[in-house]
């Protein structure tokens, strides 16, 4: 696409937790422009198939069968059902901006978190390991921001919507002349997301996270995962959000 000399590209970055109800809210912000999804780049052609009329249930089933959607990804893709319905009905220009290698590394991180969670249930909360894993996760996100940001820049139209781009991608796009708006559709209050946010601030801004805060949030994470098993993800999130109250004070008793 040849852009006009005075044309300003706009992108709305929507932050949303992995909940079907939140995805439905995010869709309300979609326009007639280009949509960027936080899914691996190598799945883009399959998502495009949905946009031109393929049944998304069949597409996802195929991707699971051939191993392109791994077991640890299935919950996320099923949560995105309203989004795939939107793509099927509206046939927008859609792209997947997540770098495949970053996606693979993220899945390895999820496996480590799963193992640490299992050990935590046995009373072994390894604070240093939780710190290490989350620090590496933050660093990896930052490392791949330019690659993903450039992917978005090259494919952007005049109006764009992007799901869950990092702050580094946001700043990269601003530096390339984009008008960027960030909207929190639903601010995640899960204990692990809160802890990761604190670890991120520690790395980038020097705000130290005490060991006791790490321990308390890991304990909360264990309770939250129990709640998911008991109530399901949507209801567990609603109950946890009510329980946590002011998310800026997670270590209060």
> What does the pLDDT look like over 141-169, one tens digit per residue?
999 999 999 999 999 999 999 999 999 99
Residue 180 included in any domain:
yes
Q: Is residue 17 part of a domain?
A: yes
**How many CB atoms are closer than 10 A to CB 200?**
21
In a domain, residue 21? The reply is yes
- Which of 29-33, 43-47, 139-143, 178-182 has the lowest average pLDDT? 29-33
Distance CA 118, CA 124 (A): 9
Residue 68 resides in a domain: yes
Is 210 a member of any domain? no
* Residue 34: strand pairing partners: 93, 160
Q: Taking each helix axis as running N to C, give the angle between helix 211-231 and helix 100-121, from 0 to 180 degrees, rounded to the nearest 10.
A: 90
In-domain check, residue 56: yes
Q: Provide, rounded to the nearest whole percent, the portion of the chain with pLDDT above 70.
A: 94
What total of structural domains would you count in the chain? 1
Within-domain flag for 218: no
Q: Is residue 82 part of a domain?
A: yes
Phi, psi of 188 (to 5 degrees): -65, 135
Helices (H), the chain: 20-27, 44-51, 56-65, 74-79, 81-90, 100-121, 127-143, 145-155, 167-175, 191-205, 211-231, 233-244
| pLDDT > 90 fraction of the chain, expressed in percent and rounded | 73
214 pLDDT exceeds 90? Answer: yes
Q: Show the domain range for 46.
A: 8-99+146-187
């Amino acid at each position: 696409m040849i852009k006009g000399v005075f044309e300003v590209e706009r992108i709305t970055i929507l932050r949303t937790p992995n909940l079907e109800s939140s995805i439905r809210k995010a869709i309300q912000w979609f326009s007639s422009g280009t949509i960027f999804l936080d899914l691996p780049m190598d799945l883009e052609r399959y998502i495009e198939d949905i946009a031109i009329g393929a049944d998304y249930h069949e597409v996802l089933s195929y991707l699971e069968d051939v191993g392109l959607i791994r077991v640890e990804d299935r919950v996320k893709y099923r949560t995105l059902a309203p989004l795939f319905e939107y793509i099927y009905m509206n046939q927008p220009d859609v792209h997947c901006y997540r770098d495949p290698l970053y996606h693979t590394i993220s899945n390895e991180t999820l496996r480590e978190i799963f193992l640490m969670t299992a050990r935590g249930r046995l009373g072994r909360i390894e604070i240093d390991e939780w710190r290490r894993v989350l620090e590496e996760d933050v660093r990896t996100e930052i490392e791949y921001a330019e690659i993903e940001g450039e992917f978005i820049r090259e494919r952007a139209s005049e109006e764009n919507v992007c799901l869950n781009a990092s702050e580094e991608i946001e700043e990269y796009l601003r530096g390339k002349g984009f008008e960027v708006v960030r909207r929190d559709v639903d601010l995640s209050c899960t204990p692990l997301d809160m802890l990761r946010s604190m670890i991120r601030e520690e790395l980038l801004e020097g705000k130290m996270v005490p060991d006791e805060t790490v321990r308390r949030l890991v304990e909360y994470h264990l309770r939250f995962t129990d709640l998911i098993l008991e109530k399901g993800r949507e209801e567990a999130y609603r109950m946890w959000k009510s329980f946590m109250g002011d998310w800026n004070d997670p270590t209060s008793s």
